[in-house]
A and B are shown apart, each in its own frame.
Chain A
Amino acid sequence: MMSSFSSQHVIEVQKATIYQEDKPVLSNVNFDVEKGEFVFLIGRTGGGKSSLLKTLYADLPFREGYMNVAGYLIKGLKKQQVPMLRRKLGIIFQDFQLFPDRTVSENLIFVMQATGWKEKSKMKARLTEVLMRVGLGSAQSKMPHQLSGGEQQRVVIARALLNEPVALLADEPTGNLDPVVSDEIFKLFLEINNSGTAILMATHDHQLVKAHPLRTLKCENGRVEELKEMESF
């Protein structure tokens, strides 16, 4: 197992310092995420969860330490390489909404065009596929405002799945949803995870983390620590 260690990881972080506007928010960060693993990332607001995720998808500059995401070395990553890295990841982010001026299928087709898809028939097939997967097979021609919050979040997840990412990075994906809907969305994440996509989910939803005994990382006092026992949360 040790020999194939690094090929098993979709995210590898060693001795990393995470900055936010020239201020280090997390230091000496060490963790890995394996292929197909589900990992919670918890901690207070402002504790550096979002900054860590942003650094992982190369939105914040990474200066100190080692970070390998989906086979890309984040330190010194060339600007032209950033889009290629992001195509390997599915980013689910509160500020990253659907375009309100076009339908669900136009939203998804647009993303496919932006990421280099050319053939129309393939795009249509993939569109139907991801929408079926998130349970929204009939929502193609709807405008985002005609969908409920939970349905919109499903479309956002469908969008993240378009390019068959090796990992989903989700920042508070259930933040704005009521408990019942948020539970459904979470189940969807579990399903996606079961089919082999690694998921790193930042959340402060205590109930959710308590109810699902999964691997949990906690950002606290400028450190990222593995949480062994749920009681200490």
Chain B
Amino acid sequence: MASVKKSRKRKLGSYPSFSVVASMFLALFVLGLFALFLLLSKNLSTAIQESIQVQVYLEKDISESQRIQIEKTLSSSEFVLQKERSVVLITKDSAAEKFIAETGEDFYEFLGDNPLRDVYIVNIAPDYQTDEKMAIVQKEVESISGVYEMDYVKNMLSSINTNITKISLALIGFAIILLIAVIVLINNTIKLALFSQRFLIRSMQLVGAKAGFIRKPFLYRAFFHGMLAGAIASVFLYSIINYGMSIIPGIDILLNIEIIAILFGSLLCVGAIVGFFGTFMAIRKYLKMSLDELY
């Protein structure tokens, strides 16, 4: 009895910081994981779209300068993807070599000539990847003098595009539902946590503390907890990304460091903002309550 106890036990009714941060972390982690998935599929669809190619076959008897003219026309066209190596020439000789190497059949032997044509492989800009626009592009290309024909797989285009649209819509729908779920979940966690504080809030009111004074420490804490939860979620996501990169080659092309940084920053912001406003609303509720309602 003589010695005053210094240790402060965790009392029933003190603010459950750990469980608040833990639930916020889990909610943000799931959100981040989904966002990562969304980014991957977005980048994947871009990669697919950018890899859509058409073949532009040239007339057999054109001169070198005519060929260069065609290449220039193609490169400066709007429907061509604005990227390096969007217009690539495969000469009939290299195509023949490749063909012979792949099939082992030397057609020179029985044809005496190379039946292949010089071909430009052209990557198409995503904006032009509809059947209607491609038809226009085809007309335009085939009107260039020295072009024999343009070839592309018609139905693949529209099926890729409708699939990408469908999947994107579904994913965005899921993302919105998930975001709402996360906000509601964090909000409820905070409400429950503050429920344990209602008599503290009450006591402060009775001594004549202003609403701002009562609110301030709770808001600071919620803000900090939200950031902390976002940071922990980011650390976990980062290790998952690293692990993913080590086992799935090629995934690193689909993700760049800026996007990941933005994602982590957003998680911190979502945590802090939802924490802040959830606390604000919950405290406002308790501040308005009279004693009888608190029990």
**Counting CB contacts under 8 A, is B109 at the interface?**
no
A114 touches B213 (CB 8 A): yes
Q: Complex formed: what's the CA distance from A97 to B208 in Å?
A: 15
Contact residues on B (Cβ < 8 Å of other chain), bracket: 20 to 34
**Counting CB contacts under 8 A, is B290 at the interface?**
yes
* Most chain B CB neighbours (cut-off 10 Å) among A59, A87, A159: A59
For chain A, residues 91 to 109, give those with C-beta under 8 angstroms from any C-beta of chain B: 91, 93, 95-97, 99-101
* Most chain B CB neighbours (cut-off 10 Å) among A84, A93, A96: A96
Given A59-B290, A59-B291, check contact A84 B203 (CB 8 Å).
Answer: no
Q: Complex formed: what's the CA distance from A141 to B3 in Å?
A: 11
For chain A, residues 42 to 69, give those with C-beta under 8 angstroms from any C-beta of chain B: 54, 57, 59-60
**Counting CB contacts under 8 A, is B4 at the interface?**
yes
Q: Complex formed: what's the CA distance from A162 to B214 in Å?
A: 19
Q: Complex formed: what's the CA distance from A44 to B73 in Å?
A: 100
A60 touches B208 (CB 8 A): no
Q: Complex formed: what's the CA distance from A114 to B200 in Å?
A: 12
Interface size on A (CB < 8 Å)?
33
A93 touches B206 (CB 8 A): yes
**Counting CB contacts under 8 A, is A163 at the interface?**
yes
Q: Complex formed: what's the CA distance from A85 to B200 in Å?
A: 19
Q: Complex formed: what's the CA distance from A163 to B207 in Å?
A: 9
Q: Complex formed: what's the CA distance from A79 to B292 in Å?
A: 19
**Counting CB contacts under 8 A, is B211 at the interface?**
yes
Given A60-B290, A141-B4, check contact A80 B14 (CB 8 Å).
Answer: no
Query: Please, which residues of chain A bring their CB within 8 A of the CB of B204?
Result: 114
B14 touches A101 (CB 8 A): yes
Query: Please, which residues of chain B bring their CB within 8 A of the CB of A96?
Result: 202-203, 206
**Which residues of B are at the interface with A, using a C-beta cutoff of 8 A?**
4-5, 8, 11, 14, 199-200, 202-211, 213-214, 290-292
| 14 A-B pairs whose Cβ atoms sit less than 8 Å apart in the complex | A20-B292, A59-B290, A80-B210, A83-B208, A83-B210, A84-B208, A87-B207, A95-B291, A96-B203, A99-B203, A114-B208, A114-B209, A115-B209, A159-B207
